[in-house]
Structure 1
Amino acid sequence: MGLAFFQWCEGTFIGETVRTSVWLFPVIEAIHLLGLSLLGGAVLILDLRLVGVMLGSEPIAELARSTRRWVVAGVTTMILTGVPLFLSEAVKCYYNPSFWVKMATLPVAVGFTIAVRRWIAKRPPAATSPQTRLAGATSMLLWFTVAAAGRWIGFSS
């Protein structure tokens, strides 16, 4: 994707509206962070169970099912708010390495989360294993990278 595309994105109606509004960007960002909290909390609960740190008596598959709607709500909220945030400063994002780290890691984290949850659904209920520990630790690392890179976008020029 070239710079011209990012300039076009920034020039869209949504990009200009969010960028020129005094209050729109901070409100959208606050909702974006709420989505991060929903997603992060739901993912972290399952990941901590997978690595064997907490909720050891809870069946992993049941925990995955019960947190699914929160994962979906978090991802949906983050996409719906992330797009206008991006459009409002697309050119800045183009030059920001943290943006590219986030964009490279985000689909990997989402795909990994989906794959792990499908894998869990097919497994018989069992105690924590080396495979579940690895899956939980990998998931936490991926989502931490997405969150840290996203947060760092605002602090880098």
Structure 2
Amino acid sequence: MSSVLLFFQGLEHSPLSVGLRASEWMYPLVNTLHILGIALLVGPILILDWRVLHRRATPPVAALATVLLPVARGGFGLAVVAGSLLFITRPLDYAFNTLFQIKLVCIGLALLNIALLHWSKAWGLAIKDNQFSQSVRLACGLSLVFWLLVLALGRLVGYR
């Protein structure tokens, strides 16, 4: 048996995994926290990306970013922690599920896209003067696509 399979089997039989599955309230609570984290992550990102793509002067993106990005970061943290706990309840089902793997790739691509955008000079200039280059608009469009794919794949994984 491969060490990866043994790892996931051990994880599935761990006290945390067994306890989460056995509890009447813990699994639904963790699931609710995961959904809340996703809402706090994706909601602000969709608002900010949509604002950039629609070339309006108001509200200024800098003002939106100041409020929305910390919420999105907190939502991401909550979604990761709660999602990890959900994963632990059925690691063998999730780890080898193609849709789940694609979801993780999309999350990685979305995070890479965010990192490249925020580390670029284009984003800093765009925020400062509220003018957005094609590269910034492209990054925001990709962000919308990646996060919407993550949402859709997450729902599909739940029904598989």
> Could you say which TM-score interval applies, normalised by the shorter chain?
0.7 to 0.9
Alpha carbons 1:61, 1:121 under 8 Å: kept: no
For the aligned residues, what is the CA RMSD? 1.9
Structure 1 residues not aligned, in runs of 5+: none
Q: 2:159 corresponds to which letter in structure 1? A: F
Whole-angstrom CA distance in 1 between matches of 2:47 and 2:142:
14
Could you say which residue in structure 2 is the equivalent of 1:152? 156
- The alignment partner of 1:61 has SS state of helix
Alignment of 1:121 with 2:124, yes or no, is: yes
Give 1:58-137 correspondences, 5 Å limit.
Answer: 58-119=59-120, 120-123=123-126, 124-137=128-141
How far, CA to CA, are the matches of 1:8 and 1:100 in structure 2? 20
Task: Report the TM-score when normalising by structure 1.
Answer: 0.87
Q: 1:139 aligns with which of 130, 140, 143?
A: 143
Distance 1:122 1:3, change over 3 A: farther
Deviations 1:34-53 (A, max 9, x none): 11111111101110012116
Shift of the 56–155 alpha-carbon distance from structure 1 to 2, 3 Å rule, reads: farther
Give the distance between the partners of 2:130 and 2:36, measured in 1 at CA.
33
Is contact 1:102-1:145 (8 Å) kept?
yes
User: Bigger relative contact order, structure 1 or 2, given CA contacts below 8 A and separation 6+?
Assistant: 1
Aligned residues: 155
Task: State the identity as a percent.
Answer: 28
Q: Alignment partner for residue 31 of structure 2, among 13, 16, 29?
A: 29
Amino acid at match of 1:137: G
Task: Name the SS of the counterpart of 2:78 in structure 1.
Answer: helix
CA contact (8 A) 1:44 1:140 kept: yes
Q: Is 2:99–2:156's contact at 8 Å kept on the other side of the alignment?
A: yes
Segments of 5+ residues of structure 2 without an aligned counterpart are: none
- Listed one character per residue, the Cα deviations across residues 96-127 of structure 1 (whole Å, up to 9, x for unaligned) are 11111111221221232233234323544133
Range with bigger deviation, 61-70 or 20-29: 61-70
1:42 to 41, 44, 55: 44
2:59 is matched by which residue type in structure 1?
A: E
Cα shift readout 1:52-106 (whole Å, capped 9, x = no counterpart): 16x5323323322221210111011101101110000101112311111111221
